[in-house]
Amino acid sequence: MAQVRRSPEEHEVVVVGSGAGGGSAVQVLTEKGIRVTLLEAGPMLDPAKEFKEHMWPYEVDHRGAEEGGAAYFGKGKSFGYFTTTSGGWQLDGEPYTVGEGSEFQWFRSRIIGGRTNHYGRMSFRFSDYDFKPYDRDGLGTNWPISYKDIAPYYDKTEAFIGVTGSKEGIRSAPDGVFQEPPPPKAHEILIKKACDRMGIPCIPNRRAVITRELNGRPPCHYCGQCGRGCLTASNYASSQVQIFPAMKTGKLKIIDMAMAREVLTDGNGKVVGVSYIDKRTREEKHIRCRAVILAASACESARILLNSKSKYFPNGLANGSGVVGRFLMDTVGFGLSGQVPALEGLPHYDTDGFGGAHLYMPWWLWEKHSEAGFPRGYHIEIGGGYGMPGIGSFQRQARKFGYGKSLKEGVRREYGTTVGFAGRGEMIPNNHSYCEIDPRVVDRWGIPVLRFHFKWTDYEWKQARHMERTFAEIIETMGGKVLGLSAAERERNGISVPGTIIHEVGTVRMGDDPRTSAVNGFCQAHQAKNLFVCDGGPFVSNPDKNPTLTINALTWRSCDYLAEEMRKANV
Amino acid sequence: MSNTNETLIQVGDVSRRDALRTIALAVTVVAGGQMKLEAAQQVHAHAREEKKKTGSYKAKLFTEHEFKTLGRLAELIVPADSVSGSALDAGAPEFIDLLSSQNEHLAAIFTGGLAWLDAEMRHRHSAPFVDAKPEQQTAMLDLLVKAQETDRERSAKGQTYEKSEHYKDFQSYGIYAASDLGPGVVFFDWARKMTVDAFYTSEIGIKDVDFRGNGSVSKYEVPKEVIEYALKHSPFAS
């Protein structure tokens, strides 16, 4: 049997995972002169190799359909060939299982930067009320921290990574430190007009894209291809904005292809290091350190904790409460599109913009939940414009117009005349939605895998139906026609498949009481003061704000605290 | 003992990369590196100049006859007109041949579908598809399009063969034709799907729909006349 390789070196802080949380930890700690060792389960990112920004579909023989037309059979790269996902819903040799009667999909990245390389970059602050949900409607649990605790860290994060936006004074969408947003596109102006009539706020989008130079990063050049990875680093990705700069400080050591197995404790139950599998050799290696930050993503961090069993921690580390893995939440998603005749014949123009909609609609009924008929809110994201033609772009028109002259003319007439709406709403944590260790399955590294259980409840279904009615009304108010969604389709696609919005959080939740939470308000384990969890795991609720910005801000706050505790020799 | 896994990793060899990638690396990797907009624009000009593949194509999977049939279908599905060329000009048969040669399932859809089409055409017009008269070819495609529409309407109403309690009586619903042409409907949907994709992902097709993006601008603006046009044609016209 192969021996475990123990490195004699004593590392200072080991960070597991290099996405939003890991990247922020690296940035904040190395700036303070603390040495960081970063473990990443995938390879180093080389933007020059990975990013397909500005490629035309005809530059590859398969045009984006991939070898053998894999995309036609649902086996292509997630989100398309040209995106820079480096991961997916299934990873070879690293399975997860789903409990009977449940449906859950887990997106994992395996590369420096993780999912921040390709994410949507929506950057919304939680509202003051989002931290005290139980106080408002008696559902879920309050956070141990409040808006004022995190507000300064939202400020720092926005100033550092760069976020667009405008001062609006809307309670559901607190204002921040913003760069100037780009102007709305033509279809967005019509959407805003419709929303004005309906009393829905429609405001400049808040995205982690810079419109003026910041820390040597040039401003956005408006190609609209953030999802392919940005060669000029004009949007936020933890790889380019936090990790690459930290590499120049001499304080950062990166160990890539390192799959964390467990957090190591000594005979007294003190956290002393991390065990990982070197994927290149399949050797298990142990490194010793002063503090550990898990930032492997909410579910992966929960998995590591649950697998870190010892005499002192028979249920896994930081799990004296039994909450690790529980309260798994995703965002409620629902989408609807419409075709708008007012956009037919529009003089064509470049609608790429800064890589997403230039407007969005924050939640507007935060004081009218009894009227809405469900407890929490959602925001609305917009799609539309003349997208770069790709595989599948005109299939709807192909079927509608048959073939020949009518098809060609139909495509020209309808190109760019479709608008889409995506609702992103808050779910209430429930007892049926959690992950645990599957007692029978290990991955190819010998690490026990997660088994997921998930259920939407009436709260979420009612919210999705409200989204549907709202989107249909916006489309009709614009003079458009709702596309698709028969009764049968609604039954099947009336709410997103759990996990597919990729906002999974809550599995290592924070709280003041060690009996009902795994970590405290600083994301520090109740059971181990030199162990922190800096990803979506500590989230107590999953407000209708995409989680990344809050992961960045919470991590910054945790690392300020950790550095101070290290200085005081408490850690 | 060397342990490459634990060395400080450098972002790799840049000498092989073109200007775009070199400059991009400078932004993210070189300390204090800066990239001005002019550089970004130059970068994107380079990207656009990437070479196009030309020259004659030899089918990897299809016979000469099959390839010719796909070509004729491509011309019919997306024909040339005063604005742009056809899907044949845009390389649709090559696209379908390449992918089918890499995927047995796709190959079966196309070789089987093309054989079905020829058999059906011989039966109806005593000639394979490519040798039939243009009006006979379009008559066949019209039948397939119609059959698919009927199928779709039925499916939307939940009247599928399997589910319908009216199964025994289905002729009265006018779906007999759909059942007879079923294999053709499936094949034509694939042929059209991939032909349309091949056309609109080509330079010809992208120009045809007048896509204006994939560029690089220092300031994003929406032309005033565009906004005026949209408002004028909308329910919000004052």
pLDDT in tens, chain B (238 residues): 333 333 233 333 333 334 444 444 444 433 333 333 444 444 344 333 433 444 578 999 999 999 999 999 999 999 999 999 999 999 999 999 999 999 999 999 999 999 999 999 999 999 999 999 999 999 999 999 998 887 777 666 554 444 334 343 333 344 444 457 888 999 999 999 999 999 999 999 999 999 999 999 999 999 999 999 999 999 999 7
Give the C-alpha separation, A420 to A238, whole Å: 29
Q: Residue A498 has what pLDDT?
A: 96
Cβ-Cβ contacts under 8 Å, A276 against chain B: none
Identify the CA nearest to A381 among candidates A420, A329, A343, A417: A420
DSSP letter (8 states) at residue A427:
P
- The reply to whether B187 and B116 lie within a common domain is yes
B107 close to A (CB below 8 A): no
**Mutant choice from A407, A412, A419 vs B, greatest count of B C-beta within 10 A:** A407
Residue A345 to residue B210, Cβ atoms within 8 A:
no
How much is the pLDDT for A8? 74
Same-domain check for residues B169 and B77 = yes
Residue B25, in any domain of the structure: yes
Let me know whether B27 and B85 are in one domain: no
Examine the domain organization and report whether B137 and B165 are in the same domain: yes
Q: Which residue of A has its CA nearest to B232?
A: A342
Partner residue opposite B78 with nearest CB, options A223, A342, A407: A407
| Domain assignment of residue B101, yes or no | yes
Residue B71 shares a structural domain with residue B44: no
Q: Give the H/E segment covering residue A424.
A: strand A418-425
- Distance, in angstroms, between A414 CA and closest chain B CA? 10
Both B44 and B160 in one domain: the answer is no
Chain A residues closer than 8 Å to B105 by CB: 73
Q: Does B138 touch chain A (CB under 8 A)?
A: yes
Residues of B in contact with A53 (CB under 8 A): 47
pLDDT for B155 equals 62
The ipTM (two decimal places) reads 0.92
Q: Which two tokens stand for residue A269?
A: 């139950």
Residue among A468, A483, A355, A364 at smallest CA distance from A414: A483
Task: Report the chain B residue with the minimal C-alpha distance to residue A48.
Answer: B21
Q: Give the count of domains, chain B.
A: 2
Please write the tens of the pLDDT for every residue from A32-63. 999 999 999 999 999 999 999 999 999 999 99
**pLDDT on residue B152:** 72
Q: Is residue B7 domain-resident?
A: no
Q: Is residue B108 part of a domain?
A: yes
Helical residues (DSSP H) of A199-266, grouped into ranges:
244-247
Q: Which residue of B has its CA nearest to A402?
A: B145
What confidence score (pLDDT) does residue B154 get? 67
Q: Report pLDDT for A260.
A: 98
Residue B6, in any domain of the structure: no
Same-domain status, B70 and B148: yes
* Least Cα separation, residue A250 to chain B (angstroms): 9
- The answer to whether residue B4 is domain-embedded is no
For A288, other C-beta atoms within 10 Å of its C-beta total: 16
- Could you list the residue range(s) of the whole structural domain that residue B43 is in? 12-50
**A387-396 confidence digits (pLDDT tens):** 999 999 999 9
pLDDT for A490 equals 60
* Partner residue opposite A346 with nearest CB, options B23, B32, B229: B229
DSSP for residue A432: T
Contact check, Cβ <8 Å, A63/B41: no
Q: Are residues B193 and B110 in the same domain?
A: yes
In a domain, B46, yes or no: yes
Q: Which of B1, B3, B6, B52 to mutate to test the interface with A (most CBs of A within 10 A)?
A: B6
- Per CB-CB distance under 8 Å, the chain B contacts of A413 are none
Q: What three-state secondary structure class fits A150?
A: helix
| B156 and B43 together in one domain | no
Comparing alpha-carbon positions, the chain A residue that sits nearest to B97 is A68
B137 touches chain A (CB under 8 A): no
Tell if the CB–CB gap between A193 and B5 is shorter than 8 Å: no
The dihedrals phi and psi of B10, each to the nearest 5 degrees, come to: -100, 145
Query: One-letter amino acid identity for B190?
Result: W
Do A44 and B198 lie within an 8 Å CB cutoff? no
Across the interface, whether the CB atoms of A349 and B226 are under 8 A apart is answered yes
In degrees, to the nearest 5, what angle opens at C-alpha A127 toward C-alphas A241 and A28? Answer: 25
Residue A409 in contact with residue A391, Cβ under 8 Å?
no
Indicate which of A6, A10, A60, A63 best probes the interface with B, i.e. most B CBs within 10 Å of its own CB. Answer: A63
Q: What is the spatial distance between Cα B86 and Cα B76, in angstroms, rounded to a whole number?
A: 8
Q: Which of B36, B208, B215 sits opposite A218 (nearest CB)?
A: B36
3 state DSSP class of A263? strand
For chains A and B, count residue pairs whose Cβ atoms are closer than 8 Å: 283
* CB nearest to B196's CB, from A62, A73, A394: A394
For residues A114 and A480, give the distance between their C-alpha atoms in angstroms, rounded to a whole number.
39
- The predicted pLDDT at position A5 comes to 83
In a domain, B231, yes or no: no
Residue B223 near chain A (CB below 8 Å): yes
Among A196, A350, A413, A485, the strongest candidate for a mutation testing the B interface, having the largest count of B CBs within 10 A, is: A350
Element (H, E) at A129: none
Both B157 and B46 in a single domain? no
- Residues A470/A377, Cβ–Cβ less than 8 Å: no
* A304 C-beta neighbours (distance < 10 Å), count: 29
Chain B residues with CB-CB distance to A47 below 8 A: 11, 21, 24-25, 28
pLDDT tens track of chain A, all 571 residues? 467 888 777 899 999 999 999 999 999 999 999 999 999 999 999 999 999 999 999 999 999 999 999 999 989 998 999 999 889 999 999 999 999 999 999 999 999 999 999 999 999 999 999 999 999 999 999 999 999 999 999 999 999 999 999 999 999 999 999 999 999 999 999 999 999 999 999 999 999 999 999 999 999 999 999 999 999 999 999 999 999 999 999 999 999 999 999 999 998 889 999 999 999 999 999 999 999 999 999 999 999 999 999 999 999 999 999 999 999 999 999 999 999 999 999 999 999 999 989 999 999 999 999 888 999 999 999 999 999 999 999 999 999 999 999 999 999 999 999 999 999 999 999 999 999 999 999 999 999 999 999 999 999 999 999 999 999 999 999 999 998 665 556 656 789 999 999 999 999 999 999 999 999 999 999 999 999 999 999 999 999 999 999 999 999 999 999 999 999 999 9
pLDDT tens digits along B197-227: 999 999 999 999 999 999 999 999 999 999 9
Asked if B12 is an interface residue toward chain A (Cβ–Cβ < 8 A), one would say yes
For Cα atoms B216, B220, B225, give the angle at the middle one, nearest 5 degrees: 120
With 0-12 CB in 10 A as exposed, 13-18 as middle and 19+ as buried, what is B53? exposed
In B15-54, the residues whose Cβ lies within 8 Å of chain A are: 17, 20-25, 27-29, 31-37, 39-41, 43-44, 47-48, 50, 52-53
Q: Are residues B131 and B26 in the same domain?
A: no
Backbone phi and psi for residue A442, each to the nearest 5 degrees, phi listed first: -120, 160
Instruction: Check B206 against A386: CB less than 8 A apart.
Output: no
- Of the candidates B217, B199, B195, B197, the residue with the CA atom closest to the CA atom of residue B208: B199
- Residue B31 has a pLDDT of 32
B138 to chain A, closest Cα gap in Å: 9
| Distance to chain A for B52, nearest Cα, Å | 7
Q: Which residue of A38, A58, A405, A406 is the best one to mutate when testing the B interface, meaning the one whose CB has the most B CBs within 10 A?
A: A58
State the smallest CA–CA distance between residue A156 and chain B in angstroms: 20
B121 shares its domain with B28: no
Give contacts of A194 with chain B, Cβ < 8 Å. 236
